[in-house]
Amino acid sequence: MRGAGTRRASSAAVRRAGAAAKMRAPSTSARQGPYSGQGAPRDRFSLILINAPSALRLHKRANPITNGNPIMSVNDTDGSGGSLYAGRIPIFPRRVKGFYRSLKWWIMGIALGIYYVTPWIRWDRGPEMPDQAVLVDLAHRRFFFFWIEIWPQQFYYVAGLLIMAGIGLFLFTSVAGRVWCGYACPQTVWTDLFIMVERWIEGDRNARIKLVKQPWNARKIRLRLTKWTVWLLIALATGGAWVFYFADAPTLARDLISGQAHPIAYTTMAILTFTTFFFGGFAREQICIYACPWPRIQAAMMDENTLTVTYKYWRGEPRGKHRKREGAEKLGDCIDCGACVAVCPMGIDIRNGPQLECITCALCIDACDEVMARIGKPRGLIDYCTLADEIEEREGRPHAKPMWRRIIRPRVVVYFTLWAGIGLAMLVSLFMRDSIDLNVARDRNPTYVMLSDGAVRNGYTIKVSNQNHETRTFRLSFHAEDPAHPGRPYPLEARIQGSDTLTFDVPADKKRSLRMFLTTLPFAVIRPSVDVEIWVEDLTTHERAKAETKFLGPKLEQLP
């Protein structure tokens, strides 16, 4: 079980390795940087290693509870044996202000707003139809989305949406890396919300660390209970909002309160309440690091033109706190204040280079910009930057290419074209689709029936869906051409089982199944196969739908 994998190893190890790195005699490479005197990096792998931490002074993340002493018992590197298992190092993200923080507040507000409010929007569809704008009606097998109504056989629209979501993720990932993780993933958004609540109730980073360290007393119990209660209420609202998408929200809300709702509703709510409470309040970054497969897939989709959150060590190093000391002029811009580490919700040090824990939430950019402004240096010591830019900047050509040139590249254009093409195709087909859905299935057993007067009869099952919200009257007709005499009709007679006419009603928003028979007229020459078109026409709107099928008969040698 030891050594859960190399993937995690390279970066998770980085932050645990500080003490070991310090113990080692500072090697020449550590002083000079990885590529001094070695020329340009050979390939992409070495590009990634540009940010390799041996160039920097490695800092193991300090455990705030043990007064900054890194916990080494989890994996002692001197080989004397230690625990096989590492406890979670608690994270106390500090409050930060700035452009990305504001952007994230807005995204959170809009995303959560959409999620909680949508089921309550009403949409009039006429009598006996649900008036909920967005509704997944499992009992009646309908999906309503404002003016769009999707039937089960049109589920390909949902498949199309899923494909769009997939390609959309490729698109965003190739442009800006784990931007989904950092801004829009529910795990990130709800964790952000939970941390905000935690900060309101228990105070900012230092107050929270103090609270954890102090023994239990009335105040600590009170704060903890308040925090957990608010978390639970948010979690309950989250689970609650989910079930409203599947039933009429006002009715279900009343039933939920009066205890009359279906057990499935309560179970779903309970599960989602628990997962929200636990994932947002306690598991947090562990979900991203250990449970979620998406970050591993994303890494494979990034290239040297992908924007990632980058510490520009070529500008920041060597870092140092003591600006007034002798030799300070040799120091880089990083004053080693630790602001970027303190605000990080994943508990990493971005200065160790790109690492798999980083969800690119960009809060370290805001934190560093604040500090740079205070010490009178230009912003962007930590910033969105591509690996290709990094090479240019290290060779003294900052902004060699404008950002849009990095973003608009063939790969991105292909993704966008695919994504937009599928979206357009779906929109077009959605607006062009008929409000009649006609399906004709010819009887296959028996394929044809010989009647007592020598005529041949075929049976068909006809299914007509009326997707409008009022009853409609349709007339059935057919068109068959004699294969031996093109242009001449093949003499057939149509009949609907149990009816004297070829007109029939289909109730609003319903599908009706009919049995239709085609029989040869007495003077017909029996043919083995005749192409037939079945037409259904709305008698009021004259909207029509067509289905193609065949009329089969015995081959000549089978005739008596």
Partner 1 sequence: MADKHEKEIDELSGVDTTGHEWDGIKELNNPLPKWWLWTFYGTVIWALLYTIAYPSWPLIDKAFGGVLGYSSRAQVEQELARHAEAQKPWLDRIAALDLPEIASDAELAQFANAGGAAIFRTYCSQCHGAGAQGAKGYPNLNDDDWLWGGDLEAIHYTINHGVRAPEDEDTRDSVMPAFGDGTLDKAQIAQVIEYVRQISGQEHDADLAAAGAEVFADNCAACHGEDGKGNRDIGAPNLTDHIWLYGGDRQALLETLLKGRAGMMPAWGKRLTDAQVKQVALYVHQLGGGE
Q: What is the 3-state secondary structure (H, E, C) of 42-63?
A: CCHHHHHHCCCHHHCCCCCCCC
Query: 442 has which bridge partners?
Result: 460
Q: CB of 446: closest distance to partner 1 in angstroms?
A: 4
Residue among 382, 319, 326 nearest 353 (CA): 382
Cβ atoms of 181 and 288 within 8 Å: the answer is yes
Residue among 187, 191, 105 nearest 366 (CA): 105
Q: CB of 182: closest distance to partner 1 in angstroms?
A: 22
295 binds partner 1 (CB under 8 A): no
* CB closer to partner 1, 219 vs 555: 555
Residue among 521, 516, 442, 530 nearest 481 (CA): 530
Q: CB of 502: closest distance to partner 1 in angstroms?
A: 16
79 binds partner 1 (CB under 8 A): yes
* CB closer to partner 1, 424 vs 449: 449
Question: Which residue of 62, 65, 230, 450 would you call a contact of partner 1, by CB under 8 A?
Answer: 450
66 binds partner 1 (CB under 8 A): no
Distance of CA 270 to the CA centre of its chain: 23
In angstroms and rounded to an integer, the radius of gyration of the C-alpha atoms of the chain is 34
Report residue 433: phi and psi, to 5°. Answer: -65, 150
1 binds partner 1 (CB under 8 A): yes
Annotate each residue in 28-57 with x if it binds partner 1 (CB under 8 A) or - if it does not, as one string: ------------------------xxx---
Cβ atoms of 514 and 457 within 8 Å: the answer is no
Task: Kindly state the tokens that stand for 92.
Answer: 């106390």
Distance CA 519, CA 515 (A): 13
Task: Kindly state the tokens that stand for 104.
Answer: 């994230």
The count of chain residues that interact with partner 1, using the rule CB under 8 A, is: 54
Distance CA 72, CA 89 (A): 12
Q: CB of 423: closest distance to partner 1 in angstroms?
A: 40
Distance CA 369, CA 380 (A): 6
Hey, what amino acid is at 544? R
4 binds partner 1 (CB under 8 A): yes
Number of C-beta neighbours around residue 427 at 10 A:
10
* CB closer to partner 1, 17 vs 179: 17
* CB closer to partner 1, 13 vs 91: 13
Distance CA 309, CA 360 (A): 6
Distance CA 335, CA 316 (A): 8
Q: CB of 78: closest distance to partner 1 in angstroms?
A: 9
* CB closer to partner 1, 62 vs 111: 62
* CB closer to partner 1, 77 vs 435: 77
Annotate each residue in 494-513 with x if it binds partner 1 (CB under 8 A) or - if it does not, as one string: ---xx--------------x
Cβ atoms of 514 and 460 within 8 Å: the answer is no
Site for partner 1 in 407-446 (CB under 8 A): 443-446
Q: CB of 285: closest distance to partner 1 in angstroms?
A: 11
Q: CB of 262: closest distance to partner 1 in angstroms?
A: 16
Fill in the DSSP letter of residue 378: -
* CB closer to partner 1, 505 vs 531: 505
Distance CA 185, CA 168 (A): 14
* CB closer to partner 1, 199 vs 442: 442
Q: CB of 504: closest distance to partner 1 in angstroms?
A: 10
10 binds partner 1 (CB under 8 A): yes
* CB closer to partner 1, 84 vs 165: 84
Q: CB of 510: closest distance to partner 1 in angstroms?
A: 11
532 binds partner 1 (CB under 8 A): no
Identify which range of 78-86, 151-159, 260-268, 541-549 contacts partner 1 by CB under 8 A.
Answer: 78-86
The SS3 of residue 321 is: coil
Cβ atoms of 448 and 500 within 8 Å: the answer is no
Report residue 514: phi and psi, to 5°. Answer: -125, 155
58 binds partner 1 (CB under 8 A): yes
Q: CB of 207: closest distance to partner 1 in angstroms?
A: 26
Identify which range of 187-195, 212-220, 313-321, 448-456 contacts partner 1 by CB under 8 A.
Answer: 448-456
Beta-carbon contacts of 512 under 8 Å, excluding residues fewer than 6 positions away, are: 463, 464, 466, 504, 505, 506
296 binds partner 1 (CB under 8 A): no
Identify which range of 11-19, 231-239, 250-258, 259-267 contacts partner 1 by CB under 8 A.
Answer: 11-19
118 binds partner 1 (CB under 8 A): no
* CB closer to partner 1, 24 vs 433: 24
Beta-carbon contacts of 515 under 8 Å, excluding residues fewer than 6 positions away, are: 459, 460, 461, 462, 496, 497, 498
Q: Point out which residues bind partner 1 (CB under 8 A).
A: 1-6, 8-10, 12-14, 16-21, 24, 52-54, 58, 74-75, 77, 79, 82-88, 286, 290, 443-446, 449-454, 457, 459, 497-498, 513, 515, 517, 560
